[in-house]
Amino acid sequence: MDRNPAGTLTTRQGSARPVREALIAGYILRLARESVAGRCSQELLAEAVAVSPDTVAGWETGRRSLTAVRAGQLVMLRSMLVRLGAAPYLVRLLRVAMEADQILDHAIAISDRHEPADFHPLGAYVHRREVIELVAWPLIDRTPAGLPPLASRRGPVAALPEIGPAARDAVFDHLRRVAETSGGDSLLRRQALYLQSYDRRPDAMAWMTDQYRRMPRQRSGWTADWPVIRTLAAALVRYGEPATLIDFAEYGLADEPGYIANLNYWAYWVGETPTAERDDSFMPARLGPWHGDRLMRHLISRLSAEEGVADLSIHTLRALLAARPRLLGEDPALMATLAATAGRLMDDGRMSSTARQALAEICYALRLHTR
């Protein structure tokens, strides 16, 4: 697919065209190719999809953008990777990586020229964890869980999609501008704030704290500002301020809409639901039809996380087991892990008094179920 001309969805009329390098998708493509048993060279993949080896090399390094490839050729590329025996997870992740590239490349290309009326991929729909973690990958040099390392080879090999310090600063400057000028677009602001929380420059904490202080303090569960406040509270934990999220875990879940919103948000975030949501209005509406097993595993893995994160995870896990009690009997091994973790935390874990009470209720429910 050709790059979009000025005035299309990726840029406002008259501005410079974003340069889409698709570094993340290129890196995932290389991981997928190298996951083939017996090794799959660039030459072999090129022959399979009827392109030159230089084209494959260009895709993998970002010199040729995968997001500029025609839809039919992209389908063929993914199909041939499957046929060659590439890891299915990595082939599926290729599409997700292109979503992440759209966000990252847009931020780098537009930089400080964003205006409130402009299209922005962070305001298009609600993104899930796997997309956001891929966007954050080159920003914080942390590989998302589950990705294998690149195969060893001669010469220098980048350990992740690298964008460089100047581009990283441009992304964070862009996210600040988007958050400050988003006006009534709460989805755009919320998702920009979440990514901005990965900023580790000297003034980043003060900027994020100021954004939090500007929000209204309504201790009544769900409000229109609930999603943004939740994001800011979680973001401040990354700067060593857990009190905001501990506080939110109490007042943000204080009524039924807040309780439902928290569960629906988590379920969507970890991929329990297959459809994309256009905005945050789905959160408090009603408890979704999602199963809950994936969410439960995610929450259990976070019970020993830093203060604030662990507190919210405990409150959410108690709510999940109350809403989906069948989960107590579906995976005995997982319940044994939960019982051991909860017991250890009850003995020596650091948490708020309300989180400790919630954890005690979880332990009680586990004991009742195993009698």
Which tokens go with 26? 């290129």
> Where would I find the H helices in the chain?
23-34, 42-48, 53-61, 71-84, 88-110, 129-140, 165-181, 186-196, 204-213, 226-237, 243-251, 256-269, 293-301, 309-323, 332-348, 353-370
Give the model's confidence band at 154: pLDDT under 50 very low, under 70 low, under 90 confident, else very high. low
pLDDT of residue 198: 97
Q: Which of 54-63, 218-227, 290-299, 309-318 has the lowest mean pLDDT?
A: 218-227
Is the pLDDT score of 265 beyond 60? Answer: yes
Hey, what long-range contacts does 222-228 have (CB within 8 A, 24 or more apart)?
222/255, 222/257, 222/258, 222/261, 222/284, 224/186, 225/186, 226/252, 226/258, 226/261, 226/283, 226/284, 227/186, 227/187, 227/190, 227/261, 227/265, 227/280, 227/283, 228/186, 228/189, 228/190, 228/193
Q: Fill in the DSSP letter of residue 16.
A: P
pLDDT of residue 26: 95
pLDDT of residue 13: 39
User: Bigger pLDDT: 298 or 10?
Assistant: 298
**Mean pLDDT on 276-304:** 95
Q: Where are the domains of the chain?
A: 234-370
pLDDT digits (tens, 9 = 90+) for 198-250: 999 999 999 999 999 999 876 679 999 999 999 999 999 999 999 999 999 98
Residue 227, amino acid: P
The Cα–Cα gap between 369 and 1 comes to 55
Is the pLDDT score of 269 beyond 70? Answer: yes
Is the pLDDT score of 151 beyond 90? Answer: no
Q: Fill in the DSSP letter of residue 252.
A: T
The Cα–Cα gap between 120 and 346 comes to 45
pLDDT of residue 150: 72
Q: Which of 17-21, 118-122, 132-136 has the lowest mean pLDDT?
A: 17-21
**Mean pLDDT on 270-284:** 95
**Mean pLDDT on 165-188:** 94
pLDDT of residue 155: 53
Residue 190, amino acid: R
Give the model's confidence band at 115: pLDDT under 50 very low, under 70 low, under 90 confident, else very high. confident
Sign of CA pseudo-dihedral 302, 127, 200, 140: positive
Q: Average pLDDT, whole number, for the chain?
A: 90
Give the model's confidence band at 302: pLDDT under 50 very low, under 70 low, under 90 confident, else very high. very high
The Cα–Cα gap between 290 and 294 comes to 10
Residue with tokens 């920009």: 192
pLDDT of residue 14: 39
Asked if 286 contacts 276 with a C-beta cutoff of 8 angstroms, the reply is no
pLDDT of residue 157: 63
